[in-house]
Copies of this chain bind each other. A is one copy, B any other.
Amino acid sequence: MTETNNFNFTTPNVTRSELQDLVGKELRIFLELGDLQAAKSILTPVQPADIAQAIEGLPEAMQALVFRLLPKTEAIEVYEYLDYSVQQHLIEELKSQDVCDIVDKMSPDDRARLFDELPAKVVNRLLEQLSPAERQATAQLLGYEAGTAGRIMTPELIHIKEHLTVSEAIERIRRQAHLSEIIYYLYVTDSVRRLTGIVSLRELVVSQLEQTIGEIMTREVVFVYTDTDQEEVARLIQRYDFLALPVVDKEQCLVGIITVDDVIDILEEETTEDIYALGGGVQSDGDNYFQMSLLQVARKRVVWLFILLITNTITGTIIKSQEDILQQVVILTAFMPLLTGTGGNVGAQSSTVVIRGMSTDEIRSLKVSQVIGREAIAGAFLGLMLGSIATVWAYFLQDRLEVALTVGISLVAISVIASVSGSALPFLFRSFRLDPALMSAPFITTAVDVLGVLIYFKLARVILGL
C-alpha cells in the first residue's frame, strides 16, 4: 500500500497512459545511446508502478540494466510491482547478493506470491539466504493453501494491548510504522495474542490522549480465518468498505491482515477467470495470458473446444438420422443455423446474467425457482418476438407457409428451452461444486441444439405432413 502520491501530470492535455508510454520510449532511447545518467534522471520523479511498467516494456537485455540504476529502497518497491515473468528473469540476471537483498526486504505476502511462481530449486536457494525471521514468515505463508486468506495476508501489522493509553498507542505507531503494511487499524490482542478488539487511527486521533484503548476500541470485530477463501475475503472488504481485515488461526489468534489494495487485484483475477470461462472455456490461473507460450495457450483452450466438438457431433448425428425429410425438403436446412444460433444466444444471455449474479451476490435475495421462472417468461417473450419476425422472413424467402410456421414455432420453443437451461444449469453445477462459468456453455449448447433440432424436425413432419 502506497501512501504518497508522487509524479505529476506535467501537461494537462497528455493523458496518464500516454505519459507512461513516453517515459518508456525515452528510457529506451537513452539506454540505446548508452547514457545511463540520463536514463537514471528520468526515473527519479516517477512512481514505482510506472517504473515497473517501463521496465516490462523493455527488451529483456535492458531490464536488468535499468533495474540496477534504481536506488536500493526504490528497487524493492519497483520489484514488487513487476510481472512474475520479469521478476523471475531479474533473479537470473542480477548478482546473487542483490537478489538476496531485494527478496529479504520484500513484504512477506508479495514474497510468498513470487515464490509460488518460481521453480522449487530457486525458491529453496533463496529461502536459505533469507534472514531467519523472514524465512520463518515466508515458510509460514507458503504453508497455507493457495487461494486462502492465509496465503494472501501479510503478518506485518501493529498490535497493542487494551491497557495502553491513546498517547502510548500513538507513540507505538510512531515507532512501528515502518514495520507495518498499514497503520490505519490497530489490533488489540490479549496475552495469548487472541484478537479482542480493533481501533482505527481515526478513532485514536479524535480521542482524548489519556483514554485507554480498552475504552475506545470496538469489541465486535469482523475477521476471517486463515483458510477462508480469498474471494470471500474480497467480498467482505468490498461489502463493508474496510481498508483491511484481520486474519486469525483456529485458536482465534491474530496472524495477519489483508489490505484493500490486494482485494482489488483478487476481484480482478477472479473476474478474469469468470470471463475467460464464460467466453469459451479458456482456463485462467491468474497468469498474464499475453506472456504465455502458444503451446500453453492451445492447451488452455483445446479441452473445451473438444467437448463442444463432441456436442456438435451429437447434433450432427440427429441431423443425419433425419436425412429422409431433408432430402424431401432441402430448404429446411437453410433455417437450422438461425434456430440453433438464436437458441445459443438466448441461452448465453440467461446464463451470463445468472452466473454474474452469483459472483456479485446480487442474486442472493431471490429463490432459484424465481430466477428460472423469470428467465423462462423472458425467453418466451423473446421467442415470440423473434419467432414472428423469423416466420415472416422465412415465408418471404421461400414462399411456403408451412415451412415458415415450422421455423417460427420452433424458435419460440427453442427460446424457452434455452433460457430455462441457461438459468437452471448454473445452479445445478454450483450445487455439485463445479464452476458454473466453465461448465454451463457446453451443456446449454447441447440442450439447445439437440432438443431444438428434434423439435424442428418433429414440427416439420407434423406441419408438412411428411
- A binding-site residues for B, Cβ under 8 Å: 1-9, 12, 15-17, 45, 47, 49, 53, 56-57, 170, 173-174, 177-178, 183-185, 198-203, 205-206, 218, 220-223, 225, 232, 236-243, 245-246, 260-261, 263-265, 267-268, 271-272, 274-276, 278-282, 288-290, 294, 297-298, 301-302, 304-306, 308-309, 311-313, 315-317, 319-320, 323, 326-327, 330-331, 333-338, 340-342, 344-346, 348-349, 351-353, 355-357, 360-366, 371, 374, 377-378, 381-382, 385-386, 389-390, 393, 397-398, 445, 449
Q: Which residues of B contact A280 (CB under 8 A)?
A: 345-346, 348-349, 352
Report whether B309 and A342 are in contact in the complex, using a CB–CB cutoff of 8 Å: yes
Bound-state Cα–Cα, A170 to B166, Å: 14
Q: Which residues of B contact A301 (CB under 8 A)?
A: 346, 349, 378, 382
Q: How far is the CB of A322 from chain B (nearest CB, A)?
A: 9
| Contact call A313/B298, Cβ cutoff below 8 A | no
Q: A333, B326: Cβ atoms under 8 Å?
A: yes
A280 to chain B, nearest CB (A): 4
Complex Cα–Cα for A305 and B422 (A): 15
Q: Which residues of B contact A282 (CB under 8 A)?
A: 349, 352-353
CB-CB nearest 4 A-B residue pairs: A279-B352, A280-B349, A241-B261, A3-B200
Q: A320 with B309: in contact, given A6-B218, A345-B280, A353-B282 (CB under 8 Å)?
A: no
Q: Tell me whether B265 and A352 are in contact (CB under 8 A).
A: no
Secondary structure type dominating chain A contacts: helix
The complex places the Cα of A239 from the Cα of B205 at a distance, in Å, of 29
Q: Which residue on chain B has the smallest CB distance to residue A218? A: B4
Docked pose: A175 CA to B49 CA in angstroms: 35
**Contact in complex: A6, B319 (CB < 8 Å):** no
Q: Which of B183, B206, B225, B306 contacts A12 (CB 8 A)?
A: B225
**Which residues does chain B contribute within 8 Å of A281, judged by CB atoms?**
345, 349
If the complex has contacts A5-B198, A205-B174, are A353 and B289 also in contact, measured as CB distance less than 8 A? Answer: yes
Look across to chain B and name the residue whose beta carbon is closest to the beta carbon of A312. Answer: B338
5 A-B residue pairings within 8 Å (CB atoms): A5-B218, A5-B246, A8-B222, A267-B268, A326-B326
Known: A5-B242, A276-B353. A342 touches B449 (CB 8 A): no
Contact: A312 with B341, CB < 8 Å?
yes
CA distance A158 to B167 in the complex (A): 23
Residues of the B chain whose Cβ atoms lie less than 8 Å from the Cβ of A261? 238, 241, 260
- Which B-chain residue is minimally distant from A335 (CB atoms)? B316
- What residues of B have a CB within 8 angstroms of the CB of A290 in the complex? 357, 362-363, 365-366, 371, 374
CB distance from A80 to the nearest CB of B (A): 10
Q: How close is A420's CB to chain B, nearest CB, in angstroms?
A: 15
Contact between chains at A340 and B338 (CB < 8 Å): no
- Which B residues lie within 8 Å of A274 (CB)? 275
Given A205-B183, A264-B264, A334-B319, A294:B374 Cβ within 8 A: yes
Q: Is there an interface contact between A5 and B397, defined as CB atoms closer than 8 Å?
A: no
Contacts of A365 in B (CB 8 A): 53, 56-57, 290
- Measured between beta carbons, the chain B residues less than 8 angstroms from A177 are 202, 205-206
For A345, the chain B residues whose CB sits under 8 A away are 280-281, 304-305, 308
